[in-house]
Amino acid sequence: MKITIDSIHLGAVVTLQPEFFGDHRGFFLESFRMDQMAELGLPSNFVQDNHSGSVKGVTRGLHFQWDPPMSKLMRVTVGEAFLVAVDIRKGSPTLGQWYGEIISAKNKKQIWAPAGFARGFTVLSDWAEIQYKVTGLYNPNAESGILWNDPEIGIEWPVKEPILSEKDVKAQTLSQWLNTPESDNFIYKSDENKF
């Protein structure tokens, strides 16, 4: 079974499509294979696996971590959600641009978003579960967020009245983040591997 690249966005955000086998009994797929990630040029040094469940309308993000830098491989295992990644790398030609896609347990797609991107999602089904592998252990002293509806970014969220945490309501704007010394942890380098 193969995992293939479905599309690439903002030069670094990758939508993956795992091949799966299904019949009247159900389905089987390989959601991650280190050798295939390497063949695709994607990192595979995951150190933590996270799993969240949320009701319809819950919007989480836009979150990121700079120490250690945290990349994410995200998928929806129950229900349907709109997954988003925003480029927050200083000097990037796509700084402040976003990519979003509806990912579901049915389409089985995954989104890879490297460090230097803020990530978030909103739940479209009555209930959804999102699982994501990360390349850095969680560090509450080096994580932050960008305001989900920052007008400078202009994400077209498919929800009118999201359910938000207090932390996400009070998140900074992209401009505020770029004026912090911590933002120097994400500086675009054109000669780096795009992923």
Whole-angstrom Cα distance, residue 74 to residue 31?
A: 10
Q: Residue 107 in 3-state DSSP? A: coil
Give me the pLDDT at residue 189, please. 85
| Pairing outcome for strands 127-134 and 26-29 | unpaired
Question: What's CA 10's distance to the chain center, in Å?
Answer: 13
Q: pTM for this one?
A: 0.93
Give me the pLDDT at residue 1, please. 77
For the chain, list residues with pLDDT below 50.
none
Q: Which helix (H) or strand (E) holds 35?
A: helix 34-39
Which residues are known to be catalytic?
63, 132
Q: Residue 148 in 3-state DSSP? A: coil
CA distances from 77 to 55, 156, 193 (A): 14, 23, 29
Structure tokens that stand for 35 in this block: 């050798």
50-61 pLDDT per residue, tens: 999 999 999 999
| Residue of 29, 27, 114 whose CA lies nearest to 74 | 114
Q: How many CB atoms lie within 10 A of CB 173?
A: 15
Whole-angstrom Cα distance, residue 151 to residue 169?
A: 14
- The CATH classification number of 3-182 equals 2.60.120.10
Give me the pLDDT at residue 77, please. 97
The domain limits of the chain are 3-182
106-141 pLDDT per residue, tens: 999 999 999 999 999 999 999 999 999 999 999 999
